[in-house]
Amino acid sequence: KLAAYSALKSEPSVTRDGIPVDLMLNAGLLMDLPHLDETGAAGIGLYRTEVPFMARASLPQVEDQQQLYRRILDAAGERPVVFRTLDVGSDKVLPYWHGQPEDNPALGWRSIRISLDRPAILRAQLRALIQAAPGRELRIMFPMISEVSEFVAARRLLDMELEREERLRGPGALPSVLKVGTMLEVPALIWQLPQLLSRIDFISLGSNDLVQFLYACDRGNPKIADRYDVLSPAVLRVVDQIARQCRTAGVPLSICGEMAGRPLEALALIALGVRTLSMTAGGIGPVKMMLRSLDVGGAEEYVRGLMDLPDRSVREKLRFFAQDHG
């Protein structure tokens, strides 16, 4: 099978009925970069910047960060890279960062909440990202946004850093193209999409956290891992609603949680209109193999029908459908 996946890497990522679907890589370590060529990924859809922060003994300086981000952009070449700003707290701890113990860390002081309360850290990171990309395209994404005003505040810090860079080094030091987006992983943001979508260039649905919060079910607790299935009417409906609004607004949507890298889940997502999936390297071959035999036109109605099921049979039904349809 591995040989079959590898043979697919230079084949187009297009469904049987001709719909292109971008398969991107989730990355965090330099070690992940060779996977770009090995898998034929269209780019890095999620670069988790907290990973190098976690692997160090102290907060990295702007210069260190800048060099790292530049290496990632160099490795990607013409392919896009989405840098997600620091997403620490909850399950991602920095050894040199000691916050107060919290009763509910997943709901606690984490991610963009820390970044907005300690803007010097976020500004240093944004400065490093800008300095890594003079004359290049730069994509920046903010994690765990739960209100439009948080996005606006983070975006303002980015604008301040862009102005600073331009003042100090001139317009040539700026990225040639800048795209700024947000993760959608807090349910409250779903009902702010009309206000959010006009302010962002792209959106990436983080199904790991979003589903954890939708089902009030700790994503890391094996005891309750079987309590829900991401292939459920509720999750399909949520994805459908988000995908529709993004399409209407003309804002590109990607999915970067674990579900995007599993063929059956990816089938459902593509049927609901998602056209960009970002996943670990191991997912790209299997998902590509699935989608190249997928007839989206035929799957759409079937997947929509699954949203009305009153029980937990979505996965099983979808598996039969997939077997029947190659």
Which residues form the interface with ligand PEP (CB under 6 A)? 46, 48, 87, 185, 206-209, 256-257
Quick one: 15 or 212, whose CB is closer to ligand PEP?
A: 212
80: which 2 tokens? 């896009």
Query: With CB cut-offs between 5 and 8 Å by kind, which of ligand PEP, Mg ion, none does residue 257 bind?
Result: ligand PEP
Q: Which is nearer to ligand PEP, 110 or 288 (CB)?
A: 110
Angle of CA points 81, 85, 87, to nearest 5°: 120
Kindly tell me the number of DSSP H helices and DSSP E strands found in the chain. 14, 8
**Binding partner of 203, given ligand PEP, Mg ion, none, CB within 5-8 angstroms per partner class:** none
Q: Which of 49, 46, 59 lies closest to 94 in space, CA to CA?
A: 59
d(CA 174, CA 170): 8
The minimum distance between CB 275 and ligand PEP, in angstroms, equals 18
The nearest distance, CB 110 to ligand PEP, in angstroms, is 10
Considering the complex, what minimum distance in angstroms separates the CB of residue 253 from ligand PEP? 14
CA–CA gap between residue 14 and residue 21 (Å, rounded): 6
Which residue has tokens 């190659």?
Answer: 326
Say what the alpha-carbon torsion angle 256, 247, 148, 194 is, to the nearest 10 degrees: -150
Whole-number Å distance between alpha carbons of 216 and 211 = 8
Q: Is 258 in the site for Mg ion (CB under 5 A)?
A: no
Question: Rounded to the nearest whole angstrom, what is the least distance from the CB of residue 212 to ligand PEP in the complex?
Answer: 8
| Closest listed residue to residue 271, CA positions, set 247, 241, 294, 250 | 294
Nearer to Mg ion, 15 or 90 (CB): 90
Q: What would the DSSP string read from start to end of 77-92?
A: TTS-EEEEP---BTTB
- Containing 44, the helix (H) or strand (E) segment is strand 44-48
Shortest distance, CB of residue 175 to Mg ion, whole angstroms?
Answer: 25
Binding mask 187-216 for Mg ion (x = CB under 5 A): -------------------x--x-------
Site for Mg ion in 271-310 (CB under 5 A): none
CB of 257 to ligand PEP, least distance (A): 3
Encoded amino acid at 323, one letter: Q
Nearer to Mg ion, 209 or 265 (CB): 209
User: Closer to ligand PEP at the Cβ: 224 or 309?
Assistant: 224
Of the candidates 215, 252, 242, the one whose C-alpha atom is nearest the C-alpha of residue 141 is 252
Contact letters for Mg ion, residues 135-174 (x by CB under 5 A): ----------------------------------------
Interaction site with Mg ion (CB under 5 A): 185, 206, 209
